[in-house]
Structure 1
Amino acid sequence: MNICIYGAGAIGGYLGALLAYSGQEVTLIARGPHLAVMREQGLRLHLSGETLVTHPRCTDDPHTVGPQDYVIVTLKAHSLSPIADQLLPLLGPETAVVTASNGIPWWYFYKLEGPFENKRLTSVDPEGRVWETLGPERAIGCVVYPACEMSAPGEITHQSGERFSLGEPDGTRSSRSLALSAALQKAGLKAPVRAQIRNEIWVKLWGNLCFNPISALTQATLDVVATDPGTQAIARQMMTEAQTIAEHLGVTLGVSLEQRIAGAAAVGPHRTSMLQDLLQGRPMEIDALVTVVQELGVLVGVPTPYIDTILALVRQRARLAGCYPTTAGS
């Protein structure tokens, strides 16, 4: 099995290191000092008090790799549209593209029975670029739960979590999903194949939608945002709006709103990914986490006044910091 990890940062590096250590043929697409160190010294993964050193193939040029069985894209969602063409050398007739990014994926309505089947979302796929370039028939959904950080070039530190939930857009337990699940499990990961992957996508998004932008606006850690009466009240309103939208789309959220807030608070003094990006001057995941929910609200006729307000504020904050990604929402 040939697996390419496109965007081998913290999560991609963690995944690639474990797959390589388990004996899979893995190629990591990376760049800069991180790529240079991995080429020269291998990829170091700090995991449960141990350090694994692996030597997967590493490159910044997909043309040197050839067609793969799986391309696992671990870039942030807003980064995919501008580089979609660069994935083409990795694609053979049967190559699956696994979307291991936060938020609503570009293929969301593919083979989703109902009035919006095959509708394209401009907030996460401007001008349908990804849909047209990669093809939704290649997509396998993936909800990422591990928390990792790149502690130095060529070095990944695992903090928590080991689950990568997988699912086909049409809900089938396909042979390709089951084979990838088996490979991930062999690498020591949990990789259930879900019949309703969209439900799980929404449960994770439900918290990211509000906790991420509020933390970026206030620079408060997750436990504070989730427990402070003021910010918790705003989060609760945003989540209520999102829940109504999700239910209009046929989604069943497996936890209650109270449970989702409590789960976030229990994580502790964690800086959300959006806050980390803001502080480091990187583009923030605004469109895939927030703008897309606004777009879906318009689609199903659900007003989103709280989401609209926080979205306007976090966009302005990102622009002032030079951290707004180049997507439809900008």
Structure 2
Amino acid sequence: MKVCIYGAGAIGGYLAFALAEAGVDVSIVARGAHLATIREHGLRLRKDGAERNIKLRAAENPEELGAQDYVVITLKAHSVPAVAERIAGLFHNDTALVTAVNGVPWWYFYRHGGPLENTRLESVDPNGVQWRTFGPERAIGCIVYPAAEVEEPGLINVIDGDRFVLGEPSGETTERMLRLADALKAGGLKAPVKSRIRDDIWVKLWGNLSFNPVSALTTGTLEQICRFPETRAVIRAMMVEARAVGEAIGVRFVIDVDKRIAGGEAVGAHKTSMLQDLERGRPMEIDALVTAVQEIARMVAIPTPTIDTVLGLVKLRAMTAGAYP
């Protein structure tokens, strides 16, 4: 079983370490000082106060790694189309592509059923690059719950969590998915397999589409934006609108809005990834988290006035910071 992690940042490094410890033939695509350190000294992982080190194959050029049984993408969504051809170079005929990426995945309407079957989302897959290059039949959904960071080149610090939810777009329980889940579990991770992966996508997306842009606009932590009455009201309105959009395309929400907000508040004084990207001058993950929801809303004629307003504001904020095209 050969697995390549494409984009070995915090989450990719965590996955690579776990799979390597499970005895999987795992390799990573990385770059810069992070890659150089891993090649020379191995990949280090700090978790629960303990630090471990493991050697694995690492390259900047995926062609050096050969064909893989699984390719796990852990890049941010907006980074993937530009490297789609390089990623596809890792495929053989039966390679599975695991999308461990936040937001609405590019394959969302593959095997979805109904009038939107095989609809392509321009906001997350401009010109259908990923759909054409990868093929949606390769896709396995993966929802990432851990919080981790690259503390220094070659060192992944796991702050919290070990859960990676897996699901086929078709809802089937396939052999390829079970093999991957078993490998993740053998590496000490939780890897539940879901028959309705889109429900889980939306529960996480619910927070991403609201907490992230509101925090970027206000520079507030999760705790602050959930406790301050005015920002909490904006977050709640965005979630209510998003729930209507999700339900219109068949999503079942297993928790209510206020419980989801409470979950964000409980994280405490944590800066969202979008706020961190803004502060560090990195491209902000706006389209997969927010624009995609607006795009789907237009398809099903659901009004989203609060989402539209916040999206417009955060896009301009990102543009003025040079963090949005």
Please give the range of the TM-score, normalised by the shorter of the 2 chains.
Answer: over 0.9
Write the mapping of 1:1-330 to structure 2, written as runs, cut at 5 A: 1-324=1-324, 326=325
> TM-score with structure 2 length normalisation?
0.99
Q: Is the 8 A contact 2:22 2:184 kept in 1?
A: no
User: 1:145 is matched by which residue type in structure 2?
Assistant: Y
Counterpart CA distance in 1 for 2:51 and 2:15 is 14
* SS across alignment from 1:297: helix
CA deviation after TM superposition for structure 1 residue 254, in Å: 1.1
The one-letter code matched in structure 2 to 1:159 is I
AA of the residue aligned to 1:211: F
Task: State the one-letter code of the partner of 1:74.
Answer: T
Report the AA paired with residue 197 of structure 1.
Answer: I
Return the offset for 1:255. Answer: 0.7
RMSD: 0.6
**SS class of match (1:95):** strand
Q: How many Å apart are 1:227 and its aligned residue?
A: 1.3
Distance 1:182 1:34 in 2: 28
Consecutive unaligned residues of structure 2, counting only runs of 5 or more, are none
Q: Percent identity?
A: 56
Structure 1 residue 301, shift from structure 2 partner: 0.2
SS at match of 1:285: coil
Note if contact 2:7-2:29 (Cα within 8 Å) is conserved in structure 1.
Answer: yes
User: 2:88, 2:111 → 1: CA distance?
Assistant: 23
* 1:198 alignment partner, SS class: helix
1:22 CA displacement = 2.1
* Letter of the 2:73 counterpart: V
| Unaligned stretches of 5+ residues in structure 1 | none
What code does the residue aligned with 1:201 have?
I
Q: Give the length in aligned residue pairs.
A: 325
Partner Cα separation in structure 2 for residue 88 and residue 240 of structure 1: 38
Give TM-score scaled by structure 1 length: 0.98
Please state how far the C-alpha of 1:88 moved relative to its aligned partner: 1.8
Matched to 2:161, the amino acid is G
Q: Secondary structure at the match of 1:53?
A: strand
Instruction: Measure, in 1, the Cα distance between the counterparts of 2:139 and 2:30.
Output: 22
Amino acid at match of 1:290: V
TM-superposition CA deviations, 1:152-205 (whole Å, max 9, x none): 000110000100000000000000000000000000000011000000000000
The CA distance in 1 between the partners of 2:167 and 2:227, in whole Å, is 33
Displaced runs of 4+ in structure 1, greater than 4 A?
none
Task: Give the Å deviation of 1:24.
Answer: 1.0
